[in-house]
Structure 1
Amino acid sequence: MFISFEGLDGCGKSTQLEMLFDYLRNLGKKVIKVREPGGTEIGEKIRSILLNKELDINERAELLLFLASRAQLVEEVIKPALRNGYFVLADRFADSSIAYQGGARNLGVETVEFLNRFATNNIFPNIVFFIDISVEVALKRINKKKKDRMEIEGRSFLEKVRDTYLKISNTKSNFVIINGERSVDEIFYDVRKVIDNYIISK
């Protein structure tokens, strides 16, 4: 099973991924975790470029770098893991590019969806947990830490990102929207319910 966690920076998706990773391991499941961009030697080198706030990266170049990292991750890690019966937990995946580059960078949702299909060889998550928080909350959380190139964009950029996530969530059956403005345990209760139901159904 392939599961991704999406949302604005500061939404708590990485924390929920770690909790789910521990939960599944305790159930005796085979599970790995990956992050985007990154997760492979090539992907981590691309990540260091993409998050470097000293660099002025063109929007199209930015998208193509994300796609290159994703393509390598799918072939090198995700596809082999799924073939071998692993749960794959991803800290961001294709929907991040739709929201950030397609929506907020104005490159077009349909354009990015088309390119995602090419980059991933049509490998997409069974479940996408969209941890939804307001832009106000995101900014408060981001401002408490050292920011990378994507996190310095500001309010209007984040509003476009969130709006795009919400729009695509209405068109995708694998999206699960979870209120991220609650306690960590309350959020994970909702995540766990979805996963437990999936496991039982299989």
Structure 2
Amino acid sequence: MKKNQFIVVEGIDGSGKTTICNYIITLLHNINIHNIIYTHEPGGTPLAEKLRQLIKYSKNEILSNRTELLLIYASRLQLLDNILRPNINNCWILSDRYDLSSYAYQIGGRGINEKDILFFQKFIINNIKPNITIYLDVNPVISLNRIQLRKKDRIEKESLIFFTKVRQYYLKIAKQDNNIIIIDANQNLYDVKLTVKKVIMKWLKN
């Protein structure tokens, strides 16, 4: 059995990340793994949560794409320095989003230059990488329908075209990385959970 792994769940808004994160915790508990730190991005520490509010709910001032990028990586650095680095060798860590989101949303969606992302990744991440990433792939039309009834944040209010670009970049990266597992999240929740369980259990045994 693996020890002290870093698991990330990724996907566009409405893909079911939070639900699947909670399900993965249940799966781990069922096999007697309890030393789990569950976090999310942006956020995860008191200061990072304040940055999350600025990113998601900025109302009185237009947030530029570059400012959004800086806030996201500032939030990520707080999470890395205060949660991930001190605990990654002692605990299982499960995160709802991580650095792959910046590639998909900032490069794919916002059109930020990839060189800028690579600079921040080298400066901030410093080789703290997930052991496995579960990417929940969903058609943006379906995902946007799923979030229609909830109060949307600034990013969730983006257009179908934006989320289509984000999804395309997710898929581009996922198909190049063997540590990223693509799961069809267009299915009903029962089938998505069943697929996730098979993936996690197989991965744990390897």
TM-score bracket, normalised by the shorter chain, equals over 0.9
8 A Cα contact 1:7 1:132, kept in partner: yes
Is residue 64 of structure 2 the alignment partner of residue 58 of structure 1? yes
Q: Deviations over 1:150-176 (max 9, x none)?
A: 111111111110111111112222111
Q: Which residue of 1 aligns with 2:19?
A: 15
Is residue 29 of structure 2 the alignment partner of residue 25 of structure 1? yes
After the TM superposition, which residues 31-70 of structure 1 pair with which residues of structure 2 at under 5 Å, given as runs?
Answer: 31-54=36-59, 55-70=61-76
List alignment gaps of at least 5 residues for structure 1: none
Q: Which residue of 2 aligns with 1:75?
A: 81
Q: Deviations over 1:5-58 (max 9, x none)?
A: 111100101100001112212322121210101000111010010011414111
**3-state DSSP class of the match of 1:90?**
strand
Q: Deviations over 1:135-156 (max 9, x none)?
A: 1101211222110011111111
Q: Between the two proteins, what is the percent identity of the paired residues?
A: 38
Is residue 170 of structure 2 the alignment partner of residue 165 of structure 1? yes
For the aligned residue pairs, the C-alpha RMSD in angstroms reads: 1.3
1:135 pairs with one of 114, 131, 140: 140
2:150 pairs with one of 122, 145, 153: 145
8 A Cα contact 1:38 1:73, kept in partner: yes
8 A Cα contact 1:102 1:111, kept in partner: no
Deviation above 2 Å: which 4+ runs of structure 1?
Answer: 108-111
Alignment: residue pair count: 200
Note closer, same or farther for the CA distance 1:109–1:170 as it changes in structure 2 (3 Å cut): farther
- Give TM-score scaled by structure 1 length: 0.94
After the TM superposition, which residues 77-92 of structure 1 pair with which residues of structure 2 at under 5 Å, given as runs?
Answer: 77-84=83-90, 86-92=91-97
Amino acid aligned to 1:104: G
Q: Matched residues in 1 for 2:58 and 2:74: separation?
A: 20
**Residue 110 (structure 1) shift:** 4.3
8 A Cα contact 1:35 1:91, kept in partner: yes
